[in-house]
Structure 1
């Protein structure tokens, strides 16, 4: 039977633990997700329901990240969906969907990639459903956004940033 000192010695021998017993293993996780802001405009109702032309739909997606506490970041996925016809605007939906991400003992470059590529990938299906429901609730057919490859978008941003820095231009911040 092991005594208390043997148990303490075994815990301190964990290779991931520091000399003082601190946990130094890399850890990331989505702590919470939420609607930060949602706006639905249907400015030409009820006239717009009589329009027969196919609207032009424009969707914009932006990503922002902000450190809110030690080891905690907020990642905000902003999605704007706008449908216009020749007679005017049918709808405008603006969503700011955010998640709190816990990150500890992760190198800065991996942290940046997690915040701007992986976290948006995790948040997007929920934002997509909210946008679809909001458009449907405004009286139009649901808008089904195509899946997005945030990893590829992140790599494109890195390449564009490297090209701009090579030309002496300022680097972009936080958009994908």
Structure 2
């Protein structure tokens, strides 16, 4: 009995917990500034995709994570469509060690949200009657590591020429 009491007293740190509470479309914008004339073009479009990850703390152990994608599709110099969508999620992350919290919010949360974002973008484009665009998979760990490297370079105050790496 005394061993159980000691074990209970020694376990003051509750177990870590992580849960997705809710996911939602935070922002969605679709523009087709050159319609209907652009539909007469015979050339195939070029596509440019940018992805950004963000987030904020809402309460003690509650965080919002966001993934924003901007897709610009052009035929020559004319925009066929421009879509920007932000998928957000509310996550509960309690008793997570500080050194693990940033990677959790910067890698795991966006990875969980991205399939929802892909579906939202594909659905919005399909509703224009244009062929669907299916966004490629994204390695959020690589994006996270890239962001950390950029922050380290900015803090060092030394600018490197394009293509150069730190040793």
Q: So what's the TM-score if we normalise by structure 1?
A: 0.80
CA distance in 2, matches of 1:11, 1:149: 46
- CA change 1:100–1:16 in 2 (3 A) is farther
* Partner residue, 1:146: 136
| C-alpha distance 11-136 of structure 1, shift in aligned 2 (>3 A) | farther
Matches within 5 A, 1:2-17: 13-14=7-8, 17=11
User: In the TM superposition, what is the alpha-carbon distance from 1:52 to its structure 2 partner?
Assistant: 1.1
Alignment partner for residue 79 of structure 1, among 66, 69, 72?
Answer: 69
In structure 2, distance between residues paired with 1:99 and 1:74:
6
* 1:40/1:138 contact within 8 Å kept: no
Larger Rg: 1
CA distance in 2, matches of 1:86, 1:110: 45
RMSD: 2.3
1:37 match: 27
**Partner of 1:57 in structure 2?**
47
Structure 1: segments with no counterpart, 5+ residues: 1-5, 170-176
**Residue-pair matches, total:** 158
Deviation at residue 14 of structure 1 after TM alignment: 4.6
TM-score normalised by structure 2 residue count: 0.84
Between the aligned partners of 2:53 and 2:10, the Cα distance in structure 1 is 33
CA distance in 1 between partners of 2:6 and 2:30 (Å):
55
